[in-house]
Amino acid sequence: MKPGNRLSTSSNLLRIERLNPYDIASAAGLRAGDIVKQINGHQIHDVIDLQFYSSDPDLDIIIDRQGRELQFHIENPEMISLGIEPESMDFGCCGNQCVFCFIDQNPKGMRSSLYLKDEDYRLSFMHGNYVTLTRVSQTELNRIAEQRLSPLYLSVHAVDPVIRKRMLGIKKDDNVIEKLKFLADHDIEIHGQIVLCPGLNDGRSLEDTIKILSSFHPHFHTLAVVPVGLTKHRLELPQISPVTSEIAVNVIQQVQNHQEIFREKLGHAFVYLADEFYLSANEALPPDEHYGDYWQIENGVGMTRSFLNEFDHQVQRFPAKIKKQDRVVVVTGTLAAPVLQQFVFPVLNKIKGLDLNIHPVENEFYGSTVTVSGLLTGQDIQKSLSSLSGDYRVVLPENCINHDRVFLDDMTPDELAESIRHPVSVISDFGELWN
């Protein structure tokens, strides 16, 4: 360890929150609170830099400890983890003014995290967040290429500069095609999305966007088309038409024409529709093989098919009967209710002793146009269940709550149970009904 000059800390550097006491960084003398300035001459700004530049058998690390610069040499021939846990990373916020932004449609009075708009390519790499890259610099693109930050998840929406500027609320052409070409030339895998807004980027625009983005395959690996989400809280926001069942039918036919060509040419469908299109159009879901590796399942693409596949695998493990009569009310959104009614409940209701009831809840908080269970509030569920009588217990899908186990309105399942005076449980699949 070598003492050096005094220096000032910077908010864009990485501060150690804690160290594993049995790992090599702690053994070398690093401490919680130290700011990691450099590793082998490279500036360290975040956890990605830390992981990338510490993958070396010999490390020269410069840290700032309360304004004093110290240097450490660590020999790490097996290149194992240093055991450094950094403080949470600040992320870049979105500067776009997208006409369809769902966050702008949140009513006032919700928790602050629901109003945050991130636009950070690092979060795209680390967590699969979709970003537009409208303001990404060449320096940042170079970093993506050097550190192999792949895959990335990009919101494209349209490739026509006029339409793209209108949809994203930006004044200048952000040269998205040039950025895509750079990423493809450096072997960065991309998964993209189009939020379909009728009258804005459908029809010919959708046609052109699909064709141009497919030209970057295999680097641009998949493209998802998802319907715009509209709430009743769009005061003073641009008017956008919803994706009706008729529009959904037309989009399915348009995209299917491309999928047939891509399957033969590229080996998979390339462009995939969110489940909502098929459910809204009352059309059959594609089979399991259509979705490949379910690359975009977190985007609602293939989620229903995956759920039905898992349910089919579980059926053989379901009991023929249960010991005690059990009346269960399954809460869901209005979109998924017909699927459960057709494919799931006929199977479960063969189990003797189980009285299963589906209870679709209309979304009053956001408006009836929002139909997915993941955007239901505890208050809406509470109000909807108040019409039921008798003894029953309530089962909720796990996407109704976040990692802190609260609904969008901050109500908890326990508070819901107390308010309706019935047991409430959250499950990830129907195999948990008996746990």
Q: How many CB atoms lie within 10 A of CB 321?
A: 9
**289 shares its domain with 411:** no
| Last-in-domain residue among 272, 300, 328 | 300
- For 264-295, write each residue's pLDDT tens digit: 999 999 999 999 999 999 999 999 999 999 99
- For 295-348, write each residue's pLDDT tens digit: 999 999 999 999 999 999 999 899 999 988 999 999 999 999 999 999 999 999
- For 355-391, write each residue's pLDDT tens digit: 999 999 999 999 999 999 999 999 999 999 998 999 9
Within a domain: 379: yes
Task: Give the chain's radius of gyration (CA, Å).
Answer: 25
CB 224 within 8 A of CB 296: yes
The residue among 344, 370, 376 whose CA lies nearest residue 357 is 344
**33 shares its domain with 145:** no
| Last-in-domain residue among 248, 268, 300 | 300
Band of pLDDT at residue 113, cut at 50, 70 and 90 = confident
CATH number, domain of 135, equals: 3.80.30
Supply the pTM of this predicted model: 0.90
| Last-in-domain residue among 270, 300, 330 | 300
CATH number, domain of 376, equals: 3.40.50
Q: To the nearest whole percent, how much of the chain has pLDDT over 70? A: 97
Within a domain: 310: no
Distance CA 65, CA 9 (A): 9
Within a domain: 308: no
Within a domain: 94: no
Find how far residue 411's CA is from the centre of its chain.
Answer: 22
Count of the separate structural domains present in the chain: 3
CA distances from 211 to 158, 186, 189, 200 (A): 11, 21, 18, 17
**254 shares its domain with 347:** no
**135 shares its domain with 231:** yes
**241 shares its domain with 368:** no
Amino acid of residue 430: F
**196 shares its domain with 113:** yes
- For 65-109, write each residue's pLDDT tens digit: 999 999 999 999 998 999 999 998 888 899 999 999 999 999 988
Q: Which residue has the tokens 């610069």?
A: 69
**29 shares its domain with 136:** no
Within a domain: 309: no
**120 shares its domain with 11:** no
CB 413 within 8 A of CB 424: yes
Within a domain: 169: yes
Within a domain: 307: no
**152 shares its domain with 41:** no
Distance CA 8, CA 340 (A): 60
Query: What pLDDT sits at residue 431?
Result: 87
Band of pLDDT at residue 12, cut at 50, 70 and 90 = confident
Query: What pLDDT sits at residue 127?
Result: 94
**277 shares its domain with 334:** no
Within a domain: 283: yes
User: Residues 6 or more apart from 203 whose CB is under 8 A from it?
Assistant: none
- Is the predicted pLDDT of residue 27 greater than 90, yes or no? yes
**156 shares its domain with 209:** yes
Peptide bond into 319 cis (omega under 30): no
Q: Which domain holds residue 368?
A: 317-434
Distance CA 153, CA 130 (A): 5
How much is the mean pLDDT over the chain?
Answer: 94
Residue 27 has phi, psi (to 5 degrees) of -65, -30
- For 35-46, write each residue's pLDDT tens digit: 999 999 999 999
CATH number, domain of 27, equals: 2.30.42.10
**295 shares its domain with 322:** no
Query: What pLDDT sits at residue 2?
Result: 40
